[in-house]
Amino acid sequence: MIQVGPDARVWVLVKADGHWRRLAEGRKASVMRLKDDQAVLLVLMDERMHGELLFMKEGDSALIPIRRFFPEEGILSVPPSGARLDWVQGKDGDLAKGFSRLILWTCDLNGHVTGPRTLTPPDIDNRPGCFVSTVVSCYDSTGNPYFRSRPQGSDWRGPYALKGVLPEGERVFAAAPLEAPDWGKIVGRTMLQPKQFYPFPGNSRDVIPP
């Protein structure tokens, strides 16, 4: 991508057969590099600041709308490795009250989608639980996603639990009431935040992490 012109427009270019070809342009963009630049996620915004989430892997000749892989409604999370895309819908609730179900799809960098998989929250403190968000709360060092939950009707103080989606199945990790949980110690693994988008153009000294 390059920034050109007095109005700071962003052009997305691809090089094929030794020649550069313009794929798209917009007013601003946000970028996420995936798995050592094997692919990229791009949000390209127009003059009205409406954006579309786009995907492109090495060897592609066009940007692919993310809706080609997933339902239109959902929230994207990406593990720190950038090796896949996680798409989550919340059901039977909202952000204020929590969700009684999450629907999870995953997509690898070759466009192979698995899912949907339905996740239900655990009971917490002998009360029915709810998921607090459709965003993956954290990933462990091997890329397994974890979703945070709390009792229905409780406030931000919790208590909280994590539901992990592991190769051997789902597992729940509970924190002691009235304590700020150290999930790394509770789970017994290094816990990492999902990858982030970075604005383009940003500070000229900034480097977008791989």
| pLDDT value, residue 156 | 78
Residues contacting 205, CB < 8 A, separation 6+: none
| pLDDT value, residue 18 | 67
pTM score, two decimals? Answer: 0.85
| pLDDT value, residue 30 | 86
| pLDDT value, residue 6 | 52
| pLDDT value, residue 24 | 72
| pLDDT value, residue 85 | 97
| pLDDT value, residue 174 | 87
What is the separation, in whole angstroms, between the first and last Cα of the chain? 15
| pLDDT value, residue 13 | 66
| pLDDT value, residue 35 | 93
Helix (H) or strand (E) holding 102: strand 98-108
Helix (H) or strand (E) holding 185: helix 183-187
| pLDDT value, residue 90 | 95
> CB 151: neighbour CB atoms within 10 A?
20
| pLDDT value, residue 192 | 95
**Domain boundaries of the chain, sorted by first residue:** 2-69, 75-192
| pLDDT value, residue 45 | 76
| pLDDT value, residue 172 | 95
Two tokens, residue 89? 């819908």
**pLDDT < 50 regions, the chain:** 1-2, 49
